[in-house]
Amino acid sequence: MADIGPQNGLLRSLAPQDLAILGPHLQRVPLRLGAVLYEMDAPARWVYFPEAGLLSLITVMVSGDAIETSVVGREGAVGFIEALGSEVMSSRVIVQVPGAAFRADARRYRDAFDSSAALRRAVHMRTELLQAESRQAIACHSLHGIEARFNRWLLECHDLAGAPALLSLTQEFLAVMLGASRPSVSVIANAAQERGWIRYTRGSIEILDLEALERAACECRASVQRLRCRLEPDSPLARATPSSRARNA
């Protein structure tokens, strides 16, 4: 096992003796921008634990239309639920922000899950958070305007990816993320740039005014943040957005 350190939240939550069960079966792999880790309905052979970067979970319709349904960063994992159940992925998973991850063979992960009560509890907490985030995302898509959702999503990426200087995002991907047309996304991104909130060039977004984005984002970021504080109080993300917490205290 390579030096895991504190870089992945789910692994970091395990005591050394529990991490030692899974640790020998973890290998570090790069997360390259745009790489497809899983297609929908693919066998869940690996469980990924990002330590840097961002993974996007995308639901693809029969027509080919696609929308992002979840984002996973350094505090979470991908395939950790499916590997324990159907062993089939229900989302396409692509690398949205490059970085690195540990991955474990699904069989080894299941063995560790059976052996470690702490891992079972960590998986349960992460599953509960994921379910709550999904419910929030459904409400957000239905009730909140595209501009507020754009701002919220940028802030989420900023938090989950560990505040990178640049988020590599093509307009095509931004459209998938928001479930909107490319022209609509272009208008919103240009407006945010004209206000001085972001710099958007050649498929990369740099956040310039975090507080302005927070004021203009919908309430869903703060709602998810409160869930994180409850379920994963030791996570750095639970302390990531003081202005949001103060506003909703």
Which of 119, 175 has the CB closer to Zn ion?
175
CB of 152 to Zn ion, least distance (A): 6
Task: Find the shortest distance in angstroms from Cβ 210 to Zn ion.
Answer: 18
141 sits near Zn ion (criterion: CB under 5 A):
no
Selected range binding Zn ion among 22-30, 36-44, 98-106, 132-140, rule: CB under 5 A: 132-140
What DSSP character marks residue 239? G
Q: Considering only the stretches 9-17, 27-35, 78-86, 139-147, report the one whose residues sit in contact with Zn ion under the rule CB under 5 A.
A: 139-147
Q: How far is the CB of 237 from Zn ion (least distance, A)?
A: 18
| Residues in a beta bridge with 67 | 59
Stretch that binds Zn ion, among 32-40, 47-55, 141-149, 232-240 (CB under 5 A): 141-149
Quote the strand ranges of 9-110, DSSP E: 26-31, 36-38, 46-60, 66-72, 92-105
Q: Between helices 182-194 and 146-160, what is the axis angle to 10°? A: 70
How far is residue 64's CA from residue 46's CA, in Å, rounded to a whole number? 25
Comparing CB distances to Zn ion, the nearer of 70 and 204 is 70
Which stretch in 112-120, 142-150, 228-236, 239-247 sits in contact with Zn ion by CB under 5 A?
142-150
95 lies in the binding site for Zn ion (CB under 5 A)? no
Q: Which CB atom, from 12 or from 228, has the smaller least distance to Zn ion?
A: 228
| 48: CB partners within 8 A, 6+ apart | 29, 37, 55, 77, 78, 79, 93, 101, 102, 103
**Identity of the amino acid at 6:** P
The DSSP 8-state label assigned to residue 238 in this structure reads G
Place of tokens 């497809």: 36
Q: Which of residues 174-193 bind Zn ion (CB under 5 A)?
A: none
**List of residues 6+ apart from 18 with CB closer than 8 A:** 116, 118, 119
Closer of 95 and 140 to Zn ion (Cβ): 140
CA atoms within 13 A on the CB side of 199: 4
Contact partners, residue 3, CB within 8 Å, separation at least 6: none
155 binds Zn ion (CB under 5 A): no
C-alpha distances in angstroms, 101 versus 44, 80, 93, 149?
A: 16, 13, 14, 28
Binding piece for Zn ion, criterion CB under 5 A, among 39-47, 143-151, 182-190, 200-208: 143-151
Residues 206-225 that bind Zn ion (CB under 5 A): 218, 220
**Binding of Zn ion by 140 (CB under 5 A):** yes
Binding site for Zn ion (CB under 5 A): 140, 144, 218, 220
